[in-house]
A and B are shown apart, each in its own frame.
Chain A
Amino acid sequence: MIALLTRDIRLAIRAGGGFGLGLAFFLIVVVLVPFGVGPQSDLLARIAAGVLWIGALLACLLSLDRIFALDWEDGSLDLLATAPLPMEAVAVVKALAHWLTTGLPLVLAAPVLGVLLSLPAQGYVPLVVSLLLGTPALSMIGTFGAALTVGLKRGGLLLSLLVLPLYVPTLIFGAEMARRGVDGLDYGTPLLMLAGITCGTIALLPFAAAAVLRVNLR
C-alpha cells in the first residue's frame, strides 16, 4: 500500500501537468473573481469564504480524471487488480494520493488567497479547518467518479456531470462553516456534519469505487 502511495505521489509530482496545475487553477479562479464582481473589499470579504470553497472544489475536479486514466492506459490498473492488494485498498490509496497532491496544497494556499479577497481575521481558522475536513471527502467522491468513467474515451465532461451533484452536501456544510466563522457565529454544528460526511464517504465509498473498478476491468 505504501509503495503504491509513494509511486502515485512521485508520478504526480514528476510527470508534470498534474501537481501544480490544480494549485495554479485555484489561484487564477480566485484572482478572476474580483474582476467579475468588482473590487469593493466589503463585498469581497462577504463572499470570500464561498469563493475559496468553490475554487478549491473546481481545482479538485480538474485533476480527478488523472487518478485512474493513466494507469488504465498503460495497463498498470490490471496489474493492481491481480495484485494481492484488495481493490478497496487501491481506491483508498488513490484517493489519499490525490488528496496529498491536490487537496492538501489547496488547504495550505487558501489562507494566502484569503488575504487577496480581504477575508476577515476571524475567518481564517474556520476556513482552513473546513477545507482540511472537507477536501478528503472531495477526493474520495472524486475517486469514485473517476472509477466510474475510467473506461470511457471522453469521460472528462461526463465525470464532472456525475461528480458535481455528489459534491453538494460537502460544499454546503463546508462553505456554511467558513461563512459562519467569518460572521463570528458558532460553527460547531456544520463542523460536526462536515466531519460526519467525510468519515462516511471514506468508510463507504471505497467499496462502491472498488465494485465499479471491477466492472470496468471485466
Chain B
Amino acid sequence: MSSIWEYANPKKFIDTTDRILPWISVLAVVCLVVGLVWGFFFTPDDFRQGSTVKIIYLHVPSALMAINAWLMMLVTSIIWIVRRHHVSALAARAAAPVGVVMTLIALATGAIWGQPMWGTWWAWDPRLTSFLILFLFYLGYIALWEAIENDDTAADLTSILCLVGSVFALLSRYAVNFWNQGLHQGASLSLDKEENVHDVFYYPLLVSIAGFVLLFIALVFLRTQTEIRARRMRALMARERMG
C-alpha cells in the first residue's frame, strides 16, 4: 500500500475497484436523489426566475463534470505517454463517452433554461460556444479511438490528440470570449468567494454536484473494468486460436 502506481496492475485495479464500486454507486444514487429531491421540492422559487431556477441542479453539475472529464482524460493520457500503464489509457477511453453525455446534458438543460430566461434556445455566447466546441473535441477523440484497430497505436494517437486538443480547446475558450459578448452569467460558484449563490440553493447544489462526481467515478471504474476484461477476452481467444 505504498504508491498509487500499484493500481497500474490491471488485476489490482479490478480487485480494488470491485470492492469500492458498490459503495460509490450507492453513495452516488443517495446523493443524486437527496440533492435533486431537495432541490426540486424543498427550495423556494427564485423571485425573478421562478421555478426555472431549479434546473441549476442538473445544469451546473453536468457542466462541471463535462470539463473535469476532459481534464481527467488529459491526466491519464499524460500518464500513458510517460509511464505507459495500460489501465491509464483504458481509463481515458472509458471516460470519453461519459464526458460526451455530460456535455450534452449541460447543453440541453442550458437550452431548456435559456428559453424562458433569455427568450432563446441558443445564442452564440462564449460559454455556450466553447461547450459546443468541447463536444466536437470529444466526438473527434472517440472517433479516433474507434477507427484504429491496434490498441497501443490507438492509445498513443488519442493521447497525443488529447494533449493537442486541450491546448486548442483552451485557446478556443479565450478566442470566443474575444469574439462575442456573453448572455451567460459569470461564475457563480467558486471556492475563494465570500458568498456564492444563496445558501438555500447552495447546499442542495453541493449535494447534487457530489452525486454527479460519484456517478462519474463509478461509471469510469465500471467502464475501465469492462475494457480490461474485453481486452483479456481477446487475448485468451487469440491464444486459443494459436494453440
Q: Which residues of B contact A218 (CB under 8 A)?
A: 153
Let me know if B165 and A166 touch, CB within 8 A: yes
Residues from chain B with a CB closer than 8 A to the CB of A155 are 147
A115 within 8 A of B: no
| Per-position binary interface string of chain A over residues 183-218, scored 1 when its CB falls under 8 Å from any chain B CB and 0 otherwise | 000000110010001000000110010011001101
A11 close to chain B: CB less than 8 A: no
Once bound together, how far apart are the Cα atoms of A204 and B167, in whole Å?
11
A167 to chain B, nearest CB (A): 9
A40 to B161, CA, bound (A): 43
Per-position 1/0 for B137-166, Cβ under 8 A of A: 101100110011000010011001101110
In this assembly, does B178 line the interface, its C-beta being within 8 Å of a C-beta of chain A? Answer: yes
Query: With the chains together, A48 CA to B113 CA distance in Å?
Result: 34
- Tell me if A205 and B153 are in contact (CB < 8 A): no
Instruction: Tell me the count of chain A residues lying within 8 A, CB to CB, of chain B.
Output: 30
The answer to whether B144 and A148 have CB atoms under 8 Å apart is yes
Q: Quick one: which of A160-198 are within 8 Å of B by CB?
A: 161-162, 164-166, 168-169, 172-173, 176, 189-190, 193, 197
| Complex alpha-carbon distance, A215 and B169, angstroms | 24
Q: State whether the Cβ of A158 lies closer than 8 Å to any Cβ in chain B.
A: yes
Say whether, besides A165-B165, A168-B133, A211 and B160 are in contact (CB < 8 Å).
yes
Q: Which residues of B contact A193 (CB under 8 A)?
A: 175, 178
**In the complex, how many angstroms separate the beta carbon of B65 from the nearest chain A beta carbon?**
20
Q: Does A151 contact B (CB under 8 A)?
A: yes
A148 engages B172 (CB within 8 Å): no
* Complex CA distance for A120 and B147, rounded to whole angstroms: 45
Does A80 sit at the interface, judged by CB under 8 A? Answer: no
B108 on the A face (CB < 8 A): no
- Residue contact A215 to B178, C-beta cutoff 8 Å: no
**B164 pairs with A169, CB closer than 8 A:** no
Interface centre among A148, A165, A218 (most CB of B within 10 A): A165
Across the two chains, which residue of chain A brings its CB closest to B169?
Answer: A165
The interface residues of chain B lying within 8 Å CB-to-CB of A215 are 153, 156-157, 160
In the docked arrangement, what's the CA distance between A172 and B130, Å?
A: 12
Expressed in whole angstroms, the Cα–Cα distance for A72 and B169 within the complex equals: 30
Taking a contact as CB atoms under 8 Å apart, the answer to whether B164 and A172 are in contact is no
Given contacts A162-B161, A165-B133, A165-B137, contact A172 B148 (CB under 8 A): no
Beta-carbon nearest neighbor of B141 in chain A: A162
B168, CB-defined interface residue at 8 Å: yes
* Residue of chain A at shortest CB distance from B81: A211
Contact partners of A189 in chain B: CB under 8 A = 178
Q: Is the CB of B164 within 8 A of A166?
A: yes
Per-residue 0/1 for B116-127: is the Cβ within 8 Å of any A Cβ (1 yes, 0 no)?
A: 000000000000
Supposing A148-B157, A208-B163 touch, asked if A166 and B168 sit within 8 A by C-beta, the answer is yes
The contact string, 1 if C-beta is below 8 Å from chain A, for chain B 9-47, is 000000000000000000000000000000000000000
- A169 near B160 with CB under 8 A, answer no
For the complex, is B179 an interface residue (Cβ under 8 Å from A)? yes
Contacts of B172 in A (CB 8 A): 165, 168-169, 172
Chain A residues contacting B183 (CB-CB under 8 Å) are none
Q: Is B136 an interface residue (CB 8 A)?
A: yes
Best-surrounded residue of A144, A161, A197, A218 (most CB of chain B within 10 A):
A161
Distance, CA A13 to CA B64, complexed state (A): 50
Q: Which residue of B153, B161, B178 is within 8 Å of A172 (Cβ)?
A: B178
Neighbouring A residues of B137 by C-beta, 8 Å: 165
Chain A residue numbers with a CB within 8 Å of B167 are: 204
- Residues A165 and B136 in contact in the complex (CB < 8 Å), given A158-B147, A218-B153: yes
Residues on the A chain within 8 Å of B161, using CB: 148, 162
Write 22 A-B pairs (CB below 8 A) sorted by A numbering.
A144-B164, A148-B157, A151-B148, A152-B148, A154-B147, A165-B136, A165-B140, A165-B165, A166-B164, A166-B168, A168-B133, A168-B172, A169-B171, A169-B172, A173-B178, A176-B178, A205-B164, A208-B160, A211-B160, A215-B157, A216-B153, A218-B153
9 closest cross-chain pairs (CB), A and B: A169-B171, A165-B136, A172-B175, A215-B156, A169-B175, A162-B140, A168-B172, A166-B168, A161-B140
